[in-house]
Amino acid sequence: MKGQNKNFYTKRPHFRNLLFFLLLYIVGSPFLEPYPSLSVLAHISLSMVLFAAVYAVNKQNNQRSVAIALLLPLMALYWLGIYDIVAFSRFGSHLLFTVFYGLLVYFFTVQIMHANRVSSHVLFATFSLYLIVGLFWGSLYTLLNSISPGSYSGALLEGSQSAFHTFNYFSFVTLTTLGYGDITPQTAGASSLCQMEAIVGQFYTTVVVAWLVGMHVSHKHDEELSELVE
């Protein structure tokens, strides 16, 4: 019964919905950026990602309550920052995004570690976590560049209307170690963040793939043993 309770979240479509909104935001929102009349749809898609992420957080140990408590001021500052209604709202939202994504990475990692077999829901969860890690580092780059302008440079940053989307792109390029070179760090701190993300990206891919394969083989072995016993 205890094992069933720990894995109850994997039987719900939370991470499937989260993955859908993540892909919709990451892939679709940059196409809306050049059109001011449609840019609000990008902001709405990000808001849907945040709400879906909170809904995917486990209720145990008040984790979802903590996520909701952080989401409310985050959403307020984010939308105030879009229209520059409050002077500090944009910086405040960047800071809260970093904290919020960091908590999601921790919460989702703990949830996934409780899985005892490979299923479509576990695959949705691990893919969602990977994308959240990319957004977490994108928020770190955005926050660092707002604190210390000029930490990063490149043609994309100069012509971009939304540094948030540009740094998300740069984050995923770094996470996958593609390294196109169209955006480059200009300070030691900025370089350090890039190094750490590249290391985390390689570590995540290696460890998660090995873990999933090992769990799948172990589950198949247990099934074969149970069949022999019967």
* Tokens linked to 16: 């499937």
Domain hosting 100: range is 2-229
CA distance 211 to 216: 8
**pLDDT for the residue numbered 60:** 84
Q: What is the CATH number of the domain that holds 198?
A: 1.10.287.70
Question: How many domains does the structure of the chain reveal?
Answer: 1
Query: 163 or 63: whose pLDDT is higher?
Result: 63
> Is the confidence at residue 7, as pLDDT, over 70?
no
Element (H, E) at 185: strand 183-185
Tell me, what's the pLDDT at 161?
66
| The predicted structure's pLDDT at residue 82 | 83
pLDDT digit string, tens, across residues 65-75:
999 999 999 99
* Residues 170/142, Cβ–Cβ less than 8 Å: no
Q: What is the pTM of this model?
A: 0.89
229/163 Cα distance (integer angstroms): 60
CB distance 200 to 177 below 8 Å: no
